[in-house]
Amino acid sequence: MMTSIRLEQTRSASRLARHAGKRIGLVPTMGALHEGHLSLVRAARDRCDLVAVSIFVNPTQFGPNDDFARYPRNLDRDCQLLEQEGVDLVFAPSVTEMYPPGAITFVTVEGMSEKLCGHSRPGHFRGVTTVVTKLFHIVEPDLAFFGQKDAAQVAIIGRLVRDLQMAVEIVVCPIVRDPDGLAMSSRNAYLHPRQRKRALLLFRALDRVQQVFAQGETHAGKLIEAGKQVIAEEPSVQLDYLEIVNPETLDTLEIVSSSALVAGAVVVGTTRLIDNIVLARSG
C-alpha cells in the first residue's frame, strides 16, 4: 500500500523529478479526503507529470477553541484513495517536522488575513500562509491546486505568491457539492442527519442572493439582507458572516456587479461551515 514519506525524502524526490524535466503539482490538504479533494488531485494529474499531495492538520491555523484535536484523521484510507488516483507522492509530516521546536517565523498577508473567516478566526490565515509557504519550499511545485470552496484562502494565497514572487502557478478548482448542493467538507462528518439538513441553509441563502441579484438588485446591503432572511428561518443555525466582496482583494462592496464573491459561514451545532458563490448576471 502507498505510504507517506518524510520531509527530506519529499524534498529529494521532488528535486529528482524536476531535474528529470518533470512538471510538479502539489495539492495541499488536511486529509479526511472527499471528492472535493480528489477533484484537485485529478486536475493536478491532468496538468502535471508528478503529483504530490500533502496531508497535514496544521495547528497554527486553528484557534484555541477550534476543532484541532477532534479534526478527522484517517491516513491509511487517504493513502488508499490517493493510490487509486495515481498520486506519486504523499507527504504527511508530523507537527514537529513542520514546526521545528522554537520556530518563530510566520508569513502574513497583512490587511487581507483579517477578512471573512480571518475576522472570527484570528490567526487562521497567518497559519495557512505560513504552512503553504513551507510546503512550497519543501516541494517546490510548478503548480499548486486549491479549491474555490475556500475562496478567501485562494485570494490570500494568490496575493502571497504575487507579493513574494514565488515561482508557482496557483490553479483554482470549482466547488464540489453533494447532489443537494451542500459543499463537500471534511467537517460534514461531524453533522448528525438533522444538522446535515440544516447545514444546507447556507447554500440556499447564497442561492437567494444570486436570485435577487439576477432580478436586478445591486445594493450589497439589500442582497445580504435577502440571504440573511433565509438563514433566520432556522434559529438553530447561527450566522457567523455573510458578505459580498471583491474576490481578489476581499474588500466589501456596496454596489455589486457580476463576478462579486458572496461568502458566508454558519455554525450548526458546534460545526462551523463555509460556502460561497460568484455572482453571475444571468444566474
Instruction: Choose between 40 and 237: whose C-beta lies nearer to ligand AMP.
Output: 40
Residues making up the chain, counted from first to last: 283
37 catalytic? Reply is yes
Tell whether residue 130 is a contact of ligand AMP (CB under 6 A).
no
Residue from the set 115, 126, 134, 149 that interacts with ligand AMP by CB under 6 A: 149
Tell whether residue 147 is a contact of ligand AMP (CB under 6 A).
yes
Q: What is the distance in angstroms between the CA of the first residue and the CA of the last residue of the chain?
A: 45
Q: Which long-range contacts (CB under 8 A, 24 or more apart) does 256-259 make?
A: 256/213, 256/218, 256/219, 256/220, 256/223, 257/218
Instruction: Choose between 184 and 220: whose C-beta lies nearer to ligand AMP.
Output: 184
Residue from the set 107, 117, 184, 273 that interacts with ligand AMP by CB under 6 A: 184
Spell out a b/e string for 110-137, using b for 16 or more CB atoms within 10 Å of the CB, else e: eebbbbbbbeebebbbbbbbbbbbbbbe
Residue from the set 10, 14, 39, 60 that interacts with ligand AMP by CB under 6 A: 39
Type of residue numbered 145: F
Instruction: Choose between 226 and 268: whose C-beta lies nearer to ligand AMP.
Output: 268
All cell numbers assigned to 131? 504552512
**Are 38 and 46 spatial neighbours (Cβ–Cβ below 8 Å)?**
no
Tell whether residue 271 is a contact of ligand AMP (CB under 6 A).
no
**From 5-13, 14-22, 28-36, 258-266, span contacting ligand AMP (CB under 6 A):** 28-36
Type of residue numbered 189: A
Q: Give the residue numbers marked as catalytic.
A: 37
Q: Which residues bind ligand AMP (CB under 6 A)?
A: 29-30, 36-37, 39-40, 146-147, 149-150, 173, 175-176, 183-186
